[in-house]
Structure 1
Amino acid sequence: MTAEAQATIAVIGAGAMGRGIVQLFAQSGHRVKFYDNSEAAVAAAHAFVADMFDSKVDKGRISREEADKAKSQLVPCTQLVDIADCDIVVEAVLEDLEIKRGLFAELETVVSSAAIIASNTSSLLIADIAAGCAHPERIAGLHFFNPVPVMRVTEIISSVRTADITVEKLKACIDKTGHRAVLVQDQPGFLINHAGRGLYTEGLRILEEQAASHDQVDLLMREAAGFRMGPFELLDLTGLDVSSKVMQSIYDQFQQEPRFRPSSIIPPRVAAGLFGRKTGEGWYQYQEGKKLDLANANEPPPAMSQNCRVWIDPAADQHAELSTLSQQAGAQIVVSPDDASLLLIQPWGIDVSQACADLNLDASRCVAVDPLPSLEMRRTLMLSPITRTQSRDDAAAILGADNAPYTVINDSPGFVVQRMLATIVNIGTNIAQRGIASVDDIDDAVRIGLGYPAGPLALGDRLGPHRVMQVLEGLQRVTGDPRYRPSHWLRRRAQLGENLITREAARH
């Protein structure tokens, strides 16, 4: 088979992933054979995929002729030997190393020596699966995401012994489907699951510290950072039972790298059966798969005290905007913190307590306002452990007087959005540093596969590499946690005043 030729493809495993892979290749014009140990599963998969094509006709997405042609490409198989003539075999069976090794060894005796054998594994190293194969050069990973026809990105994973021609043929095949093929080295979590550790683990860290509630974190990531879902909504969608295993696996495979440290608050929830949507309750409660509405998160601001006197840190990024809001709310601006009843600051990467210590300010009168993303979106107010109730209420009255939404959180180095974005960017740049994938593939894969508003490197450029460094260094300073140490790839570009995405971005 040449890279341009039409391939005959076999899919082993007729579960949800296998069915999706069959549908994707059949609608792309490939002849697709599919096999499962259970003949009933094969029959069910055949009916399911055929129904999907009929449904597309009913919805006006494809013509009846296109549907019939795609269905004609489906070849259910009742014996493994029936796939002997296939050019590419995609394994989509249970995520068990021994089962996959045994299957791959059997497949080598069935298909030709020129056939490619690929695994849809999401967590096992390709080199481990191929360890017992006679021809590991033709073994690769072909990682799809559920639902396969909708999630338009596919990881092509090369082990240390995968041949270049194997990757080229797989890429040509995926390109024909319309999916974005990203080339990835055989490392734990590959690319997308690896990059996704930042959102999950940092959200859990914030919750562990009681800096904000899970629903506040999700709200801020949606309305301030522009993400489709926050970490806890996403955990409920993927299932805590599944995600907890992936988190632990990646942490262990990376030799307990602090950046990927799992959270101790997950196992008790898994033990209690709070898996998320599929069990009706996770971080949220669900009815018929839909999240039950929470209480109104946009309550009206409190009344401001009489004779409120506000001092705004001259170094605040949004000093002019905060001054205008304060005056419009009826507060008096003062030039000395000693004369103020409310102190407003805008730190990067540190918490209110550290900022007050650095600036010699009275923490009981101090409230921090996150400069991210802008005061036109949801605003975050952060309190010290001893911020007075009246100072908190006055800050809320000022920041909410123009009816803009705001959220009040406890002391947290880097607020919520700063530390979440900095962690995501840092992990993305470390993937680039390790050469696991190219800059373009990293950003496209994360944007498509995880639904982020942009890839991690583009997010870093929007914020500014120097700002990302400032947040990470502040986090490391306050917490002492090596989790926040900046990657070399990020640090070097920040020091040189370079963007993360440049013409020379692939160079270390």
Structure 2
Amino acid sequence: MAALPSNAQVAVIGAGAMGAGIAQVAAQAGHPVMLYDNRPGAASQAVQGIDRQLGRLVEKDRLDASAREAITARLQPVETLDALGEAHLVIEAIVENLQVKQDLLRQLEALCTVDCILASNTSSLSITSLAAGLCRPQRVIGMHFFNPAPLMALVEIVSGLATDPALAATLYDTAKAWGKQPVHTRSTPGFIVNRVARPFYAESLRLLQEGAADCASLDALLREAGGFRMGAFELTDLIGHDVNYAVTCSVFDAFHGDFRFQPSLVQKELVDAGRLGRKSGQGFYDYAAGAERPQAAELHSQARVERCVVEGQPGPLHALLPRLRASGIGVTERAGSGLLRVGDATLALSDGRLASQRAQEDGLRNLVLLDLALDYASASRIAISWSADTTAQARDQAVALLRQAGLQVTAVADLPGLVVLRTVACLANEAADAMLQGVGTPGDIDLAMCAGVNYPQGPLAWAEQLGVGYTLKVLEHLQHSYGETRYRPSLLLRRIHAEGGRLHG
């Protein structure tokens, strides 16, 4: 089936930020749009707000004045549900409450034509449950936009157990015609994004709880080494801890208490204290007027490095070598097991083991572990940890090497997988499990994470770049260190590694 024609009537229920944003998207695509809210006057106020936003685009020369007028003219606020009876597509964006949404869908089914598509913008509720009890459950589907809807590209097209596949194809094509990047997904807890993204928050929260480093340092590492747009603490402060914690609890409960999705006591304490982030003025950071933003911790060195030795193939760290040479450091390459040596220090990319454990097991003295970076050629910061027997002189030599190459160096406690590495490995693991369970194709999963939450790279593509075997090894070491099912590797990663295949095709 093709996309809905531009003259098809669209109705949006709920005139809050999300509903108004969806209505704007549909109107900009040429559809006549009815906007309804059960609060008297709310729909009219929302249309006025949309017009003001369009006006700002006109002022910035990003929209013609005539286009603004045409879009606003297509937006019709209505005061009763009965006015929506002739709509071709109804999208509800009301409160995230299963019973309230079910009641609304029953009303709409009785009111609308038999061909009307009933779509929910739910971010976490089961489409199958929403459709249960309706006479035409095949007409119910999820159309999950991301906030703010006019700006965010991703739309998850969510099929419940009864959803007509042709309907999913129609809404997929419709979302594309609206200028969005749609993905297909099944109605499972969290769909793609809210499921796969859980480790991004969870690992930083755990690292903070275990004293790895402070919030500012952990956030800076995810941004400046991992390439993420925001760190976990600044992002949850922006989202709101009440919202983020509630989604985590919802996914955790829906998976029957699977510890992979376990909520954080650190975040619960913030919620209990009313420190919800930016909207309350206090979260992990203080947003009061004049409050100073804490800076990431850095290590410094007065030493000067002339040369280093690379033994064997250092894996992803190989991308660091041109940077070392460009900084005037002589790099000697010889056979070995993938280590870098400078002075008394032995440097290695983390493999998920504690530095002290790896030093003991591999017989390495003065071991300094380096964290993963998205691109060692352009990263501005790197995390390091070291074994208990590493001397101050060896640490200083390692820091000097990295600083000379233009990297800011942040120390973290000796915890498995450091910061970026364990976060990426856990994201890839969750994405692999979603792929294994048919929640989405590898292409859709990676697209969803890039377009929906601005990841610098899809987690499955990242795992392939690092090597499925290496990703699997990191997870196995994390699981061994913690002794928890939270880090159990996905069966799909094990199978792909055993077969010598690829996650993408």
Gap change, CA 1:280 and 1:389, over 3 Å in 2: farther
Q: Would the aligned equivalents of 2:220 and 2:296 in 1 still touch at CA under 8 Å?
A: no
- Confirm or deny that 1:476 pairs with 2:475: no
- Confirm or deny that 1:293 pairs with 2:296: no
Q: Offset of 1:233 from its aligned partner?
A: 1.6
**RMSD between aligned alpha carbons?**
3.2
Corresponding residue of 2:269 = 268
- Counterpart of 1:408 (choices 385, 388, 411) is 411
C-alpha distance in 2 between matches for 1:235 and 1:126: 26
Q: Offset of 1:390 from its aligned partner?
A: 4.3
- Confirm or deny that 1:146 pairs with 2:135: no
Q: Would the aligned equivalents of 2:211 and 2:413 in 1 still touch at CA under 8 Å?
A: yes
C-alpha distance in 2 between matches for 1:181 and 1:321: 39
Q: Offset of 1:475 from its aligned partner?
A: 1.2
- Counterpart of 1:379 (choices 377, 382, 405) is 382
Q: Offset of 1:497 from its aligned partner?
A: 2.7
**AA at the equivalent of 1:451:** N
Structure 1 stretch displaced more, 269-278 or 312-321? 312-321
C-alpha distance in 1 between matches for 2:199 and 2:296: 28
Counterparts of 1:221-370 in structure 2, within 5 Å, are: 221-287=222-288, 292-295=292-295, 297-298=297-298, 301-304=300-303, 317=315, 321=321, 342-361=345-364, 365-370=366-371
C-alpha distance in 2 between matches for 1:114 and 1:321: 61
Q: Offset of 1:78 from its aligned partner?
A: 1.0
CA deviations on 1:301-341 (whole Å, 9 max, x unpaired) are 233499x999987785559959979x9789xx9x9xxxx85
Q: Would the aligned equivalents of 2:354 and 2:415 in 1 still touch at CA under 8 Å?
A: yes
Q: Offset of 1:440 from its aligned partner?
A: 1.6
C-alpha distance in 2 between matches for 1:183 and 1:410: 41
Corresponding residue of 2:465 = 462
Q: Offset of 1:373 from its aligned partner?
A: 4.8
C-alpha distance in 1 between matches for 2:191 and 2:229: 23
Q: Would the aligned equivalents of 1:366 and 1:383 in 2 still touch at CA under 8 Å?
A: yes
Gap change, CA 1:369 and 1:56, over 3 Å in 2: closer
Counterparts of 1:428-447 in structure 2, within 5 Å, are: 428-447=431-450
C-alpha distance in 1 between matches for 2:163 and 2:497: 35
Gap change, CA 1:269 and 1:78, over 3 Å in 2: same
C-alpha distance in 1 between matches for 2:152 and 2:291: 22
Secondary structure (helix, strand or coil) at the match of 1:157 reads strand
Gap change, CA 1:496 and 1:83, over 3 Å in 2: same
- Confirm or deny that 1:175 pairs with 2:176: yes
- Confirm or deny that 1:204 pairs with 2:179: no
- Confirm or deny that 1:193 pairs with 2:187: no
Q: Offset of 1:293 from its aligned partner?
A: 3.2
C-alpha distance in 2 between matches for 1:134 and 1:492: 42
Corresponding residue of 1:216 = 217
C-alpha distance in 1 between matches for 2:179 and 2:403: 46
C-alpha distance in 1 between matches for 2:179 and 2:88: 20
**AA at the equivalent of 2:293:** D
Q: Would the aligned equivalents of 1:156 and 1:167 in 2 still touch at CA under 8 Å?
A: yes
C-alpha distance in 2 between matches for 1:292 and 1:491: 46
Q: Would the aligned equivalents of 1:344 and 1:366 in 2 still touch at CA under 8 Å?
A: yes
Q: Would the aligned equivalents of 2:344 and 2:397 in 1 still touch at CA under 8 Å?
A: no
Gap change, CA 1:41 and 1:465, over 3 Å in 2: same
Corresponding residue of 1:37 = 38
Structure 1 stretch displaced more, 467-476 or 17-26? 467-476
C-alpha distance in 2 between matches for 1:453 and 1:324: 24
Corresponding residue of 2:17 = 16
**AA at the equivalent of 2:282:** E
**AA at the equivalent of 2:123:** S
Q: Would the aligned equivalents of 1:9 and 1:33 in 2 still touch at CA under 8 Å?
A: yes
Q: Offset of 1:389 from its aligned partner?
A: 4.0
CA deviations on 1:48-91 (whole Å, 9 max, x unpaired) are 12222222222212222222221121111111111111011111
Q: Offset of 1:225 from its aligned partner?
A: 1.4
C-alpha distance in 2 between matches for 1:153 and 1:56: 21
Q: Offset of 1:487 from its aligned partner?
A: 1.2
Q: Would the aligned equivalents of 2:307 and 2:329 in 1 still touch at CA under 8 Å?
A: no
**AA at the equivalent of 1:210:** G
C-alpha distance in 1 between matches for 2:19 and 2:328: 60
Q: How many pairs does the alignment contain?
A: 495
Q: Offset of 1:174 from its aligned partner?
A: 1.5
Q: Would the aligned equivalents of 2:15 and 2:43 in 1 still touch at CA under 8 Å?
A: yes
Gap change, CA 1:357 and 1:60, over 3 Å in 2: same
* TM-score of the superposed pair, with normalisation by structure 1: 0.89
Unaligned runs of 5+ in 1: 503-508
- Confirm or deny that 1:501 pairs with 2:504: yes
**AA at the equivalent of 2:412:** I
C-alpha distance in 1 between matches for 2:291 and 2:93: 30
Secondary structure (helix, strand or coil) at the match of 1:449 reads helix
* TM-score of the superposed pair, with normalisation by structure 2: 0.89
C-alpha distance in 1 between matches for 2:246 and 2:297: 32
CA deviations on 1:427-484 (whole Å, 9 max, x unpaired) are 1111111101122211111100010011111111221212211211121222222222
CA deviations on 1:353-383 (whole Å, 9 max, x unpaired) are 2102202345xx4322336456543232202
Unaligned runs of 5+ in 2: 337-342
Structure 1 stretch displaced more, 224-233 or 278-287? 278-287
C-alpha distance in 1 between matches for 2:2 and 2:406: 62
CA deviations on 1:16-44 (whole Å, 9 max, x unpaired) are 11110110101100010111111221121
Structure 1 stretch displaced more, 114-123 or 21-30? 114-123
CA deviations on 1:93-114 (whole Å, 9 max, x unpaired) are 1111111111111111211121
Counterparts of 1:41-190 in structure 2, within 5 Å, are: 41-190=42-191
Secondary structure (helix, strand or coil) at the match of 1:435 reads coil
Q: Offset of 1:404 from its aligned partner?
A: 2.5
- Counterpart of 1:397 (choices 381, 390, 400) is 400
